Amino acid sequence: MPTSGPNSAMPASGKTRASVFEVEIVEDDGDWSRVGNLDSLIDDAARAAFAAAGEGRKTAIVTVALSSDASVAALNERFRGKAKPTNVLSFPAGNGAPGGQLGDIIMALETLEREAAEQGVPFEHHLQHLVVHGVLHLLGYDHETAADAERMEAIEIEVLSKLGVANPYTGALETGTKD
């Protein structure tokens, strides 16, 4: 019989408190079918990021839209004023979002492929890094200042190491603001 109390994972009431974290994956644009284990790669990364930085949230839903450079470039121009694709965009739902909706993450296939090749890392590792990065943005983290970037990158490195992904910042010349 399980015990309860101060040194136990079970509350004294005998009832467990489960947090609910749901990842919805939508293939919006681009040929993502060639990526094996896509759903589990994304789900594992998103859950690990939420577990590390969710800061006591009990319920959250994240939507990850898998898209193309063309679609992401249009969104990037509309919402950030930058007429070019980027690897990942995050759109937090805000505190008053219904049903625990945390927000949306949109990923650009061609940019992720190009960056992974340029960095000499497996595509799957780069994908998981940017899912973690996107979830952290939804949780309120950013990299607008060097201090904020260091804090965010430290969490990313910790989460990725638990997923078996190497530090993506090794060899980076600097930390700080990014595109």
Q: Which domain holds residue 114?
A: 20-162
- The reported pLDDT for the residue numbered 170 is 85
172 in a domain, yes or no?
Answer: no
* 8 part of a folded domain: no
101-108 and 88-92: which strand pairing?
antiparallel
Q: Is the pLDDT of residue 14 over 50?
A: no
Contact 49, 23 (CB under 8 A): no
How far is residue 25's CA from residue 20's CA, in Å, rounded to a whole number?
16
Distance of alpha carbon 134 from its chain centroid, rounded? 4
Q: From the centroid of its chain, how far is CA 15?
A: 31
Any domain includes 167: no
For residue 47, tell me if it sits in a domain: yes
In a domain, 27, yes or no: yes
Instruction: Of 12-16, 46-50, 109-113, 130-134, give the lowest mean pLDDT range.
Output: 12-16
Q: Is residue 42 part of a domain?
A: yes
Whether the predicted pLDDT of 31 surpasses 50: yes
Query: What is the reported pLDDT for 96?
Result: 60
Average of per-residue pLDDT across 21-44: 89
Query: Closest by alpha carbon to 45, among 120, 130, 115?
Result: 130
Region of poorest pLDDT, from 33-42, 59-68, 87-96, 102-111 = 87-96
The verdict on pTM exceeding 0.85 is no
Region for 96 from its dihedrals, namely left if φ exceeds 0, alpha if ψ lies in -120 to 50, beta otherwise: alpha
How would you label 9-18 residue by residue, b for 16+ Cβ within 10 Å and e otherwise? eeeeeeeeee
* Structural domain total, the chain: 1
pLDDT band at 12 (very low <50, low <70, confident <90, very high): very low
Buried/exposed 107-129: b ≥16 CB within 10 Å, e otherwise: bbbbbbbebbeeeebebbbbbbb
Q: How many CB atoms lie within 10 A of CB 86?
A: 19
Q: Provide the mean pLDDT of the chain.
A: 82
Query: Has residue 34 got a pLDDT over 90?
Result: no
CATH value at residue 71: 3.40.390.30
For the residues 44-71, what does the mean pLDDT come to? 88
Distance in Å from the first CA to the final CA of the chain = 53
**Which residues on neighbouring strands pair with residue 89, listed in sequence order?**
106
Q: Tokens 């200042």, residue?
A: 145
What is the per-residue pLDDT for 40? Answer: 93
14 is a domain residue: no
The pLDDT of residue 127: 96
The answer to whether the beta carbons of residues 15 and 4 sit under 8 Å apart is no
Please indicate, yes or no, if residue 10 is contained in any of the structural domains: no
